[in-house]
Amino acid sequence: MIELLSGPLFKISLLVFTVGLIFRLVQYVRGLDWRLERVAYSHMGKAGVIGAIWSVLTWILPFGTRGWRTQGFATIAFFFFHLGVVICPLFLAGHMVFMKDALGFSFPSLPVAVGDVFAMLGVLGGVMLLARRITLPQVRFLTDRKDIALLALCLLTLVTGMVARFDLFAYDFMLGLHMLSGELILILAPFTKLSHMALFFASRAQLGIDFAVKRGGASRGPAFPW
């Protein structure tokens, strides 16, 4: 079972993930229309580029925007969770050994202890997000089953990974479940709101361009005070 999960299934899911997200990005850009959105993409110049970069950067910086600053708990939850789900798959020492094996190359890996911290932050953040989702009326009201399922799936992946890493119990089963849920995330990404892993950058860049070239960039400057 583990062999299947770490071999062909891993490769297939990675393929779906990569091709799927690239396809989504290409479709996004191709679907942009200066007349419909009323944004002069072809005349955006330097201002547009700065606006796009600024819009992405300020929002991936913890407390980098007014939006993040006015939402203390959610902001911490978000950044903890995302440090976990973005850093861990790409840089954990254990993952890199596996990646080298499966794909023939890997990224530089984090010291094991640092990796553990990111994983724990991820779990903590995820639990905070879940708590927020369940307790705050305005979030609960918007939440559908898919939102819970996806968040739970991410948490499951993080938690099973940690249980296996520390060999707490049922090592093989936990490792199997970890791989399965991780691969499920990869496969689902292009088809669900998880596509934001790529489309977040597209959407943020687009709004940055919108404000920089049309909505005030000329007098305010391209960097909108997000």
Partner 1 sequence: MPEGILCNRKPINTEEDLKRLLADKGGKQYYEEMKNMEVDVRALQNTLEKTCKSRTRTWLEICAHCSLCADSCFFYKANNRDVEQTPSYKINTTLGEMVRRNGKVDTEFMIRAMDIAWGKCTCCNRCGNYCPHGIDVGVMMSYLRGVLYSQGFCPWEMKIGAGMHRVYRAQMDVTTEDWVDTCQWMEEEGQEQIPSLEIPIDKEDCDIMYVLNAREPKIYPDDVQAAAMLFHIAGEKWTVPSEGWENTSLAMFAGDWQACADNVKAMYSAIERLRPKMVVETECGHAHRASAVEGPYWAGQEDGKAPVPYLHYVEWLANAIRDGKIKIDPAKKIKEPCTLQDSCNYIRNHGLEKHTRYIMSQIAEDFREMEEHGAHNYCCGGGGGMNGIGRYREERDRGLFMKLQQIRETGATLVISPCHNCWDAIRDTMEVYEVHDIKWSFLKPLILDMCIIPDHLKPQDEDEE
Min dist. Cβ of residue 190 to partner 1 (A): 11
Number of neighbouring beta carbons within 10 Å of residue 217: 22
Min dist. Cβ of residue 13 to partner 1 (A): 20
Burial class (CB in 10 A: 0-12, 13-18, 19+), 214: middle
Q: Name which position in 197, 214, 215, 226 contacts ligand HEM (CB under 6 A).
A: 197
33's torsion region: left (phi>0), alpha (psi -120 to 50) or beta?
beta
Nearer to partner 1, 18 or 203 (CB): 203
Site residues for ligand HEM, 19-58, by CB under 6 A, read: none
Distance in angstroms (rounded) separating the CA atoms of residues 8 and 120: 29
Question: What's the gap between Cα 154 and its chain centre?
Answer: 11
Judged by DSSP in three states, 226 sits in: coil
> Quick one: which segment of 41-49, 61-69, 77-85, 172-180 binds ligand HEM (CB under 6 A)?
77-85
Binding mask 89-128 for partner 1 (x = CB under 8 A): ----------------------------------------
CA distances from 58 to 54, 65, 202 (A): 6, 6, 15
Instruction: Say how many residues touch partner 1, by CB under 8 A.
Output: 58
Binding mask 7-46 for partner 1 (x = CB under 8 A): --------------------xxxxxxxxxxxxxx-xx---
CB contact at 8 A, 106 and 100: yes
Torsions phi, psi for 216 (to 5 deg): 110, -5
Catalog residues that contact partner 1 under the rule CB under 8 A.
27-40, 42-43, 55, 59, 66-68, 70-71, 74, 78, 136-139, 141-144, 147, 193, 195-196, 199-200, 202-204, 206-208, 210, 213-221, 224-226
